[in-house]
Structure 1
Amino acid sequence: MKLLTLVIFVLVFSSCLAQDKKGNIYTIPIPKESNDITADNFVEKVVSQIKHYDKEPMYFIRPLQNNCVYELLVNDFPVYKDYGIEKLSTPIEINDVILKSGPQTVTVRLYPLGDALKNAYGEEETVTTLLPKTEMKVSVVKYEAFNISQDLDDEIVVKEHNSPTKEGTNEFIGAGLPYYEYTFTFNAEVPYSNEGWSNGEDLTRFDKEELEKQVLKYYNEYIYI
C-alpha cells in the first residue's frame, strides 16, 4: 500500500511540475481530459486503461511436503522456500515466471529437516540427512479466469508430481543424502511472450570487483533519478 501511494504521488506530482532551462520549477496545467481524475477515482481510472487479452489463465503451484524442507523454482526462477514444518495452505501464483506458452520446468530442492522439529517442538534431534519417508507432492493448477473470490471447483489440475521412490518400494530415492534435487515439466498456455531472463548471463563468471562496480553504478543512478 505504501508503494502504491508513493507511485501515485510521483505520477501526480511529476505531471504538475517541471523545470525550465535555468532550473526554475513551474507548474504545468493538467490537461482538460484529466480534470475528471480525483484522489477517489485515480486507481479506478488507471485500472480502466489496462488492456486485457481475450483469455487470461492464471497458473498456481501447490506443494505438500513430509519429513523435509524445500525450495521451489519455476523456469530456474526461485518462487518459494520453506525451512519449517508448516504446510502451505495458499497456492503460489507463478504467471510472472512463465515467459511464454509451452513446456515449463519446475525444480524441487529437498533438504533434511535440520533443527525444524527442534524449533517447533523443543526436544528433538537435529536431522542431517533426508529420511526414507521423505515425500513431496507438487500440484500445478490453472484458473481460466481467476478472481480473488474464486471457487475451488473452477480449479483445473494441470500436473501432479510426486517425489521419486526406489523401484518397487515407497522409500524416497534420496534417503540418506544431505540434499536431493529433481525436475519435472508441465505445459502452459498464456496469451503473451516475454524475453525475461531467457537470454541472461551467469554473473558468477564475471570478475566480482568489476561486477560490484557496475551494480553500485546502477544503483547510484537509480538513487539520483
Structure 2
Amino acid sequence: MNKLILIGLLVFNIASCQNKENTNTIIKKSNIMNDQPIYTLKISVANPYETYVNDMPVEKDYEKGSTNTEIPVNDFILKSGVQFVKIVLLPEKGKSEVDKSGIDYVNVKIYQYPHGLSNMSSEDKVLIKEFNLSEFRESPVISKEIQFEARVHYEVKGWSESADLSKENLNVLKDEVLDKYSEIKQTLNEGDTLGLSKKYQKRNEEIYTSLYNDITSITEDKKWMHERILKSKGKMIPFENLKVVFYAKGKIVSLENLNHESPLIANIDDKEEVYNILLHRPKSGSPLEVIR
C-alpha cells in the first residue's frame, strides 16, 4: 500500500520552509488558524486498485484482500476550485477480470475537515462527495473519475506551469530521470540529511503550505526524517527493471520498478523503506526537480 508514501511523509523534513513570502507560494491571510480545510479520500475496496487526485498518484495497492483507508490529499490540490478524483480497479493476480463482487464492494468518499491536519475530528468532518462502481460490469480494468469543489486558503505553483515531459524524447528523458534518482539514492546512502533537504526544498515548502503546518509539526517531522535517513545510510538497494511513468497530463515523471514502487528503497533489518519522489521540469530546458 502506497500513498507515495502516506501522510507521515507529507510533512517530510521541511527545511528552509519558513520563507512564507516565496514567490511560488501564496498563503491567503484569512483567519487560517480557525479555518484550515483538509480534504481526504476514504476508500473501501477489495481488489487491487489505484487512486488519483488531479492525475497525481495518491495510492496504489496491488495486494489481495480488502482495504479501508483514509488519506489526506491537500498536497495534490494546488488551489481552490474544481478537483478531479479517479479510481482504477484491477483484477486480482491470476484473474483476467474484476469480478462483480469486487465491483459492488467499492466505496469512495471525499471528506473535508475544517480545522487542519492536527485537529481532524470525525465530529467536524463534512462529506463532500460519495461514489461507487455499481454501474460497471465485470471487465479487465474499471476506471471512474468524478469532480469535486475544494476551498483552500493557499495557492501553490506546483506543476501548473511545468513542461510537458511526455512530448520529449523518451530515451533521453529516461537517462535524465535515472540520473536524478541515482543522485538522490547516493545522498540517502551517505546519510546526508542536509543534502536531501536541499533537493526536496520546493516540495517541502508546498506541502508545508498545503497542510497548514505549524512549527511543532515541522520540528517533529524534521526529527522523524533525520532518523529515517540515518537508518537508510549504506542500505540502499540497487536499481533494476525500471520504467518511466507519467502523471499530471505528462507534466510529472517518475521511475517505478516491477512492483509499481519507487526504486529508492533501503533494506533496514529485512524491511523495505521506500522513498517516493515525483519529478517535473519547471520550464522547457530547465533540469528536473523534485516537486512531490
Q: TM-score range by the shorter chain?
A: 0.5 to 0.7
Q: Which one of the candidate residues 93, 97, 102 is aligned to 2:76?
A: 97
Amino acid at match of 1:161: F
What's the counterpart of residue 61 of structure 1? 41
Is the deviation greater in 197-206 or in 49-58?
49-58
- 1:138 and 1:204 map into 2 onto residues whose CA distance is 30
Pairing of 1:65-214 with structure 2 (within 5 A) = 65-66=45-46, 68-114=47-93, 126-133=94-101, 134-135=103-104, 136-148=106-118, 150-165=120-135, 173-175=136-138, 177-214=139-176
- 2:145 and 2:160 map into 1 onto residues whose CA distance is 18
Unaligned runs of 5+ in 2: 1-7, 22-26, 188-194, 199-292
C-alpha RMSD of matched pairs (Å): 3.5
Task: Using CA pairs under 8 Å that are at least 6 residues apart, name the structure with larger relative contact order, 1 or 2.
Answer: 2
- 1:181 and 1:6 map into 2 onto residues whose CA distance is 34
Q: 8 Å contact 2:86–2:146 — kept in the other structure?
A: yes
- 1:65 and 1:209 map into 2 onto residues whose CA distance is 37
- 1:192 and 1:200 map into 2 onto residues whose CA distance is 19
- 1:215 and 1:85 map into 2 onto residues whose CA distance is 31
Aligned residues: 166
- 2:129 and 2:86 map into 1 onto residues whose CA distance is 14
> Cα deviations across residues 110-169 of structure 1 (Å, max 9, x unaligned)?
10122xxxxxxxxxxx3221112213211000110034464311111111111141xxxx
Q: What SS does the corresponding residue of 1:159 show, helix, strand or coil? A: strand
Greater gyration radius: 1
Pair 220,64 (structure 1): closer, same or farther in 2 beyond 3 Å: closer
Amino acid at match of 1:131: D
Pair 186,6 (structure 1): closer, same or farther in 2 beyond 3 Å: closer
Is the deviation greater in 89-98 or in 146-155?
146-155
Q: What SS does the corresponding residue of 1:152 show, helix, strand or coil? A: coil
- 2:162 and 2:13 map into 1 onto residues whose CA distance is 30
Pair 98,127 (structure 1): closer, same or farther in 2 beyond 3 Å: same
Displacement of 1:216? 6.0
Pair 202,179 (structure 1): closer, same or farther in 2 beyond 3 Å: farther
Pair 174,195 (structure 1): closer, same or farther in 2 beyond 3 Å: farther
What's the counterpart of residue 228 of structure 2? none
Unaligned runs of 5+ in 1: 12-45, 115-125, 166-172
What's the counterpart of residue 119 of structure 1? none
Amino acid at match of 1:184: I
Pair 156,5 (structure 1): closer, same or farther in 2 beyond 3 Å: closer
Q: Percent identity?
A: 28
- 1:92 and 1:203 map into 2 onto residues whose CA distance is 28
What's the counterpart of residue 23 of structure 1? none
Q: What SS does the corresponding residue of 2:51 show, helix, strand or coil? A: strand
Displacement of 1:202? 3.7
